[in-house]
Amino acid sequence: MKILVCIPARGGSKRIPRKNVRLMDGRPLILYSVDNACTLAEKYDVDVVVSTDDEELSSIVESTGVDVVMRDPSLATDGVTLDPVIHDAVCKMEERKGVHYDTVITMQATSPTLKAKTVLAAIDYFEKNNFDTVISVVNKPHLSWTEKDGQIVKNYEKRLNSQFLPKNYLETGGFLITKRECVSKNNRIGENVSVFETSPEEAVDIDTYEDWITAEAILGRKKILFRTVGKRKLGMGHIYRCLSLAYKLIGHELLFVTDAESEMGIERLKSSFFPFEVISNKIEYEQVLATYKPDIVINDILDTEEDLIRLERKYTDRIVNFEDTGSGARLADAVINALYENHTDRPGNVYEGSDYYFIRDEFLEEKPKKFSEECKNIMIIFGGSDPADLTGRLYSIAEKLHDEMPETAFHFITGFGYAHKDQVVDIPEKKIFVHNDVKRVSAYMKNADLAITSQGRTIYELASMGVPAIVLAQNEREAQHVFAGIQNGFINLGLGSRTDDTTVIQTIRWLVNTPNVRREMRSAELTKKFENGQKRVIDLILEDPEEAMGVRK
């Protein structure tokens, strides 16, 4: 089968002037279709020609070695359809090459997001089924209306949700495959016609500036792999941070990878509806890397080893790690350690401290409440799994404190992975309330006058809401996080396992009864600005460290 691919591309364009030669994501728009067309030659006997009236466009195309047919000005006006343009190009190429083509494919210059593999699949479909013509389409079922005899009438029989409506195929302009005998001055479509459905992202046809912006966003998409864990011993913070990042990177192609032991993490990923893979060893991980071929790998698994980073480096150009003080950290492109500060020996690839905390959107949307002299609501929150069961200890303490603080309510926020939910329950008569796996923690923080928490990411969230807090670290590593100090509005009691209940009770009493101290703690917290942390982290992930380092200089 001898194929001619025709790419019609005028120099004039009213909506987007000179669009076919303008740079789309760094390259002239015309070259996307030219590259796709040339790729077809890897499987088929293909000639490629661009039909144009423009010398600049002709020069760009000829530099690639592709044929150009200069069309007559009469075929370059706004009112001329593609049929005579394609017919003209086919006739001239048959004369130039001394051949007769079996198949003619029209590929628009305005479809930069179309992939060559999609066109190859469509040619295979066309050939195997002996169609006269196959047209690229996108399925967009909608409730639609039209005008008939001066009246607005519906195009549907029954109002249904879009997923239950009949197929509604719209031509994308990406390609039209047809037999040579169907090509004439007035037609390119034969009797036996079928359509080939493309994905919406491949169906962009650049006609307006909005289309241009959409296409550049699609072409700029990166494949991002999150390597993360979520289990009782380590907690769920790594999973939650990666999910928060994923929501901000939603325009990119995302894949989560976790290990088989991360049962809690797997359950949370299932409910998120993001694609994910479960691995049991490095061999399986390498298979995922080799198949997915990520542009960026994000490791949120605590300390990494050098052999892991070297493995990932075989399949990606950029590696970004979180909370990594392991030997592999020096091999990453960026290490974001928001929970650590003042490490004077940090290498140049480490970005540390509260300026690089990636706060969740909900804490940017909620506003701190006004300060209350009375401490009416105390919030207890120890993360997604609370491996040291500090929640259980504070539950017992809350029961003891009720008699001397009858007007103070204790609100316990327990996470998805907390193992003792059946033992920590509401006691309304003692103003003890338990809230399991809440979807919007900021709403509870907004009402809190005092909090008791661990020394992880929650301290930043409490600071953003101006909630004075008592801190008990879950483990030795968490105790190294220096943000939770009095200078930032926290009373840090150190490692929870080494702090007796008497000390905790006395500290609660003191803060409840000294509003001036709580006010000063709140003021210290609210001096911290976390709004720019999100942008800094996203810039580092997407390879824009100069933007992210604005506050570090």
Model confidence pLDDT, tens digit, residues 442-473? 999 999 999 999 998 899 999 999 999 999 99
Model confidence pLDDT, tens digit, residues 127-180? 999 999 999 999 999 999 999 999 999 988 889 888 888 889 999 999 999 999
Per-residue b or e along 289-304, where b marks 16 or more CB atoms closer than 10 Å to that residue's CB: beebebbbbbbbbeeb
Q: Does residue 45 have a pLDDT over 90?
A: yes
Q: Does residue 548 have a pLDDT over 80?
A: no
Q: What is the pLDDT of residue 299?
A: 98
pLDDT (average), residues 249-261: 95
Q: Does residue 547 have a pLDDT over 60?
A: no
Q: What is the pLDDT of residue 552?
A: 40
User: Directed axis angle between helix 501-513 and helix 515-526, to 10°?
Assistant: 90
Q: What is the pLDDT of residue 342?
A: 59
Q: Model confidence at 553, in pLDDT bands (50, 70, 90)? A: very low
Q: What is the pLDDT of residue 442?
A: 94
CB burial of residue 30 (10 Å; 0-12, 13-18, 19+)? buried
Radius of gyration of the chain (CA): 31
Domains of the chain: 2-218 (3.90.550.10), 222-356 (3.40.50.11190), 362-526 (3.40.50.2000)
Rounded CA-CA distance 240/269 in Å is: 9
State the average pLDDT for the chain: 93
Residue 525's identity, in one-letter code, is E
pLDDT (average), residues 348-369: 90
Q: What is the pLDDT of residue 543?
A: 83
Q: Does residue 410 have a pLDDT over 70?
A: yes
Rounded to an integer, what is the distance from CA 93 to the centroid of its chain?
A: 45
Strand partners, 334: 320
pLDDT (average), residues 17-32: 94
Q: Does residue 343 have a pLDDT over 70?
A: no
The edge-to-edge listing of strands for the beta sheet with 409-414 is: 432-436, 409-414, 377-381, 450-453, 469-473, 490-495
Q: Does residue 107 have a pLDDT over 90?
A: yes
Rounded to an integer, what is the distance from CA 393 to the centroid of its chain?
A: 39
pLDDT (average), residues 384-411: 94
Q: How many helices (H) does the chain have, and how many strands (E)? A: 17, 24
The total number of residues written for the chain in this structure: 553
The edge-to-edge listing of strands for the beta sheet with 45-52 is: 67-70, 45-52, 2-8, 103-107, 169-179, 133-139, 193-197
Name the helix (H) or strand (E) containing 212: helix 209-219
pLDDT (average), residues 23-32: 95
Q: Does residue 101 have a pLDDT over 50?
A: yes
pLDDT (average), residues 504-517: 97
Q: Does residue 213 have a pLDDT over 60?
A: yes
DSSP H helices, 41-157, are 55-62, 82-97, 116-129
pLDDT (average), residues 230-259: 91
Q: What is the pLDDT of residue 231?
A: 86
Q: What is the pLDDT of residue 385?
A: 85
Strands 45-52 and 2-8: parallel
Q: What is the pLDDT of residue 450?
A: 98
Q: Model confidence at 58, in pLDDT bands (50, 70, 90)? A: very high
pTM attached to this predicted model = 0.79
Output the six-digit token pair for 460: 């930043």
Percent of the chain with pLDDT over 70: 97
Residues 6 or more apart whose Cβ sits within 8 Å of residue 394: 380, 382, 410, 412, 452, 504
Model confidence pLDDT, tens digit, residues 111-131? 999 999 999 999 999 999 999
